[in-house]
Amino acid sequence: MRSSCLLVLVVIVAVKSAPAVEAGRSPESCKAWLVQSIPTDMPLLPRVPGVLASGDVLRWMAGNATRRLDVIAQYWQLLAQPGNPKSGDYGYSNADLERFGAGEGRAVYKALEEAAERRVDIRFLQHSGVYPDYTEEPSSLASGKPNVHNVTLLLSDWWGSGIVHAKVWISDSEDIYIGSANNDWKSLTQVKEVGVYLVGCPNIAKRLEIYFDNLWTLSSLNATAYSITVWDKIWQASRKVPCWSHFIPYRERCSSPLQHYVDTPHVDGYPILSDPDKFHVSLMTPGYNISSALQNSSYQTSYLSFAPPELLFEKFQSDEQAWVETIKSVPFGGTVRINTMDWLGESQYTKQTIYWSSLSSAISEVIFSKNATVNLLVAYWTHTLEGTEQYLKSLLYSNVLCKSSEYNKCHGKVAVKYYKVPGYKKTGAALINGTATGNIYPAYTRVNHGKYAVSDVRAHIGTSNLVWDYFYTTAGVSFGTYHPGIVAQLQEIFDADWTSPYVVPVEPIAAA
């Protein structure tokens, strides 16, 4: 009895301490490319060579799948709907749509249909989708095909608000796309997106599949039975969370039904991990030549991070930690470049508004103590969130605080610019009730939608907007790496935007 208990204990300890990365084995070598969508009609934006196009990558991933294909999507609209009066595509001519690049979405849809025909085992997991057709596309792709499964997961049943917002493709358990592009034709040619395409990376894919499987499991569990409304001491709000959440006092937590979940006793919330799981994978970057001296650099580790924290497993870090540590990875005198659609220092969808200074604090910390320059690029478009400007000005006030005393040894600086994709004011259906609107692009287009940060040494490519909800109630995934080629090329992508004629500085508030 005693020895079997001991055996069980030993096994548990062995499982719990098993590194996520197969140390000792010869390191896996895979290929990595950065991926972009650049809206049409942006002639003045310099192109970064060697970067792939989102439409090509998604089409290839479907085209190359032989055994399985897993897709996490917020919503689907790969096929344009110019004839649907409820659609933001309504009223545009076929010639307009071809000019907008709608063919790219159609090609991705067709590649998915073909993968389904080839009997690839396909799983589509999404939020309920958007008006007017919600989950019609994955549903049609799955219709009559026993090898294609489609599931809708409503995170608001578990977290009170929040959605599946990750955009992740995994093909044959080894090729991966992670980035900002939705399964929407407009994301391929009318919205500015950034992502990463990893080819031949089974170790990384295996971990992403755990996250995927856990989301899939959630979709079949009874959320009412497994969620509870509690007082969250960290964020000072009453809110609904899964019953295994670390926002619940330790003794009141249930045991998680999800695979590989790690419980941390006697801690409120999700603490910063000192040694989050990393992948010691050697990345080759066919889209970017780095000198052979750098090729062997020891900084080849990569990582994944996840949101919300109740979906963390093993020793992977939360998405918030990964963003904060990317900012803090900046060396003395270095530069952090941050690109986002949304920026708010609070929550957007919760019943009680939550104040959230995690990222702005990290920025102020590095400009104060490390003489860092932080350049932040935020989208300005038809749907810019109210409050954005005030939070940006508040961040800019760090420059005033930095110089507030002659005794300060603060030499860093933050700069903020708005990104305005030309045409953003003229988006929407071309016709409403038979009357021309004067719009020249479909609805929800002409926006800088990428979500990434890059310091001098570390690149982080995510799916989350920089607002509290995306880190605590919404499903998001990021890939990050110290690979010098990815770091340098992501800097080039940022600098092409930052120095383009499509940006305008956000003006500071003057010192009192």
Ligand X SMILES: *[C@@H]1O[C@H](CO)[C@@H](O)[C@H](O)[C@H]1NC(C)=O
Binding site for ligand X (CB under 6 A): 49-50, 60, 63-64, 135, 138-139, 142-143, 150, 152, 199, 222, 224-225, 287-289, 292, 295-296, 333, 371, 373, 411, 432-433
The two tokens of residue 509 are: 């508030």
- Closest approach of Cβ 222 to ligand X, in Å? 4
How wide is the angle at C-alpha 181 spanned by C-alphas 498 and 483, nearest 5°?
Answer: 60
Q: What's the chain's Rg over C-alpha atoms?
A: 23
Q: Is 36 helix (H, G, I), strand (E, B) or coil?
A: strand
Helix residue ranges, H only, 118-221: 136-142, 156-159, 185-189, 202-220
Please state, as a whole number, how many other Cβ atoms lie within 10 Å of the Cβ of residue 129. Answer: 20
Of residues 179, 165, 176, 117, the one with CA closest to residue 142: 117
The two tokens of residue 130 are: 């958007």
- In DSSP terms, 324 is beta-bridged to none
Please state, as a whole number, how many other Cβ atoms lie within 10 Å of the Cβ of residue 361. Answer: 15
What is the end-to-end Cα distance of the chain in Å, rounded? 73
Name the residue nearer to ligand X (CB basis): 336 or 354: 336
- Closest approach of Cβ 101 to ligand X, in Å? 19
- Closest approach of Cβ 389 to ligand X, in Å? 27
The two tokens of residue 30 are: 């895979």
- Closest approach of Cβ 200 to ligand X, in Å? 9
**CB distance 180 to 451 below 8 Å:** yes
- Closest approach of Cβ 386 to ligand X, in Å? 23
**CB distance 480 to 455 below 8 Å:** no
Q: How far apart are CA 463 and CA 454, in angstroms?
A: 15
Name the residue nearer to ligand X (CB basis): 4 or 255: 255
Name the residue nearer to ligand X (CB basis): 112 or 466: 112
Of residues 47, 40, 73, the one with CA closest to residue 58: 73
Classify residue 365 by burial, with Cβ atoms within 10 Å: 0-12, 13-18, 19+.
middle
CA 277 distance to own-chain centroid = 18
Name the residue nearer to ligand X (CB basis): 199 or 324: 199
The two tokens of residue 498 are: 């930052």
- Closest approach of Cβ 49 to ligand X, in Å? 5
Name the residue nearer to ligand X (CB basis): 72 or 237: 72
- Closest approach of Cβ 72 to ligand X, in Å? 14
Name the residue nearer to ligand X (CB basis): 103 or 422: 103
Name the residue nearer to ligand X (CB basis): 52 or 344: 52
Handedness of CA 81, 86, 87, 91 (dihedral sign): positive
Residue nearest to ligand X (CB): 63
Q: Which residue bears the tokens 């110089």?
A: 403
- Closest approach of Cβ 347 to ligand X, in Å? 27
- Closest approach of Cβ 61 to ligand X, in Å? 7
- Closest approach of Cβ 281 to ligand X, in Å? 15
Name the residue nearer to ligand X (CB basis): 235 or 498: 498
Name the residue nearer to ligand X (CB basis): 264 or 369: 369
**CB distance 23 to 477 below 8 Å:** no
Name the residue nearer to ligand X (CB basis): 4 or 26: 26
Of residues 180, 222, 152, the one with CA closest to residue 340: 180
Name the residue nearer to ligand X (CB basis): 64 or 358: 64
Q: How far apart are CA 316 and CA 312, in angstroms?
A: 6
Classify residue 269 by burial, with Cβ atoms within 10 Å: 0-12, 13-18, 19+.
middle
- Closest approach of Cβ 115 to ligand X, in Å? 10
